[in-house]
Structures are given as C-alpha cells and as structure tokens.
Amino acid sequence: MPPVVELKSVTHAYLGDREASLAVEDLNLEIRDGEFVSLVGPSGCGKTTLLSIIAGLLPPSRGEVHVNGRPVSGPSPEVGYMLQQDYLLPWRSILGNAALGLELTGRLDEAGRKKTLELLADMGLKGTEHYYPGQLSGGMRQRVALVRTLATDPGLLLLDEPFSALDYQIKLQLEDLVAETLRRRGKTAVLVTHDLSEAIAVSTRVILLERNPGRIRRVFEIPDRIANTPPLYARDQPGFAELFHELWKEMELAGKIEGTAGKIEG
C-alpha cells in the first residue's frame, strides 16, 4: 500500500513584488495509513503552507505531492480539512451544517442523513439537530465542524489548530474526542499545533520544523504506551514529561535560527 501522504523534495516560495520568501525547502515526508502526525515549530516555519500543499489548495513551487499514491492536483474528497474557526453557516441548522459536505458533493440521500445524525449523536450532540450555530458553545460548534468533516468519510484529515480557540478544559476534552474518534475509525491525520503537550498526547509521531527556510529539524516517534493511551491520560504516562522537555528545548533552538536563507532577492 502506498503511503497516504508522500512529499518528495517539496519547496515552496511565496512571490512578492520585490522578493520571494522561501516558506518550505526541499522537504521529504511520508505518512502511513492510520498514523497521527503533528507538525510543530516556531511561527513562520511553514506548517500551514505544508497543510495547504497536502490539501491541494496550494501547488508547490517544486517537488512532488502524492495522496494515496496519486499526484495531488486540487482538493479531493479523500481529504478533509478542519480549521481553528468552525465556519458554520449561521442561517443553517446544525444538521444542515453537518451535512453540508455531503450536500455539496451530491451525496445527501437518506443514508447520508442517517449517518450524519449518528455522527452528531457520537459527538454528544443528539437533540441539537434543529438548533442554529448561534445557540451552541464554541466546543459544541467545533464538534459540529468535525461531524461535517467526517460525514464525507475522508481517509485523511488535516487539522489546522482546531482546538486553539477553546477554553483549556474544553480543549482537552475535544482533543480526546477527536483523537479517539479518528483512531477508532482508522483515519490518518496531520495536525498543526503550537501546543507541544497536545502534539505528544494525540500523535504517533511529532515533526518539528525550523524556519527560514522551513525544513524538518527533528522527528519524535511517540512511544506506544503514550500513543496508545487516550490523550487525557497520556500526559500521566511515564516518559511524557521527558519527551515534552526534549521537544521544548529543541523548539527553542529551532526558533532561534534566524538565517537569511528564507529570502530570495528578486
């Protein structure tokens, strides 16, 4: 089976009027079926750029991107995207929002509707189907966004800081719910986060990027006893604190690298 995600020598430069900025340089990465990979690193190291490239929203300047063995040429139903903002449509009911992806792809039949209702129930949202987004809390809205993403059944989920706008307690609960739901359903996930403890708690692998230009600095394989424990309890596992400090130290070093390699004069 080919890797779910394969990046080969991927470079991306954003072109401005007078100069190009090298966001990601010569990056190689393989993500296998069922892995949960987090991308961490200092601000501007190219995390969101990489996610956009994998999603098919941004063609890289150079290099190859494959999802499930096929070259990426644009957004695909095989890939779901979840963002910090939930982007629920205020005039649509919760069910209408949750089923939006199915509707847009012409798959909203009776079975699709039933599945969406089941997913809402799985996420603890039974009884809210006919409410509107304005009547729900931030954590509930983000769960609706997760249902909307899962309803079309993508094998790969790209998560760009989906928990960062939430209160700490809600964030921990949602992290747990999302990680466990994706694990149970055998999904592959790539999470961008600034929260190192979240990255370790939910992932099988954490990739630390450095900036100017964005490159992989270090890869942390998460030991099974942490990776196989639900995120809420993973933080109590032996080895978690040591891993956190190691990642923290390395992150500080990654943030200190302020080369000039990121700018290409035009």
Positions touching ligand ATP (CB under 6 A) are 14, 21, 23, 41, 43-49
Smallest distance, ligand ATP to C-beta of residue 253, A: 16
In the complex with ligand ATP, the residue whose CB is nearer, 44 or 96, is 44
In the complex with ligand ATP, the residue whose CB is nearer, 82 or 119, is 82
Smallest distance, ligand ATP to C-beta of residue 20, A: 9
Smallest distance, ligand ATP to C-beta of residue 88, A: 22
Smallest distance, ligand ATP to C-beta of residue 50, A: 7
In the complex with ligand ATP, the residue whose CB is nearer, 107 or 194, is 194
Smallest distance, ligand ATP to C-beta of residue 160, A: 8
In the complex with ligand ATP, the residue whose CB is nearer, 41 or 112, is 41
DSSP of 2-51, one letter per residue?
A: --SEEEEEEEEEEE-SSEEEEEEEEEEEEE-TT-EEEEE-STTSSHHHHH
Contact between residue 144 and residue 94 where contact means Cβ atoms under 8 Å apart: yes
In the complex with ligand ATP, the residue whose CB is nearer, 32 or 263, is 263
Contact between residue 19 and residue 263 where contact means Cβ atoms under 8 Å apart: yes
Contact between residue 208 and residue 247 where contact means Cβ atoms under 8 Å apart: yes
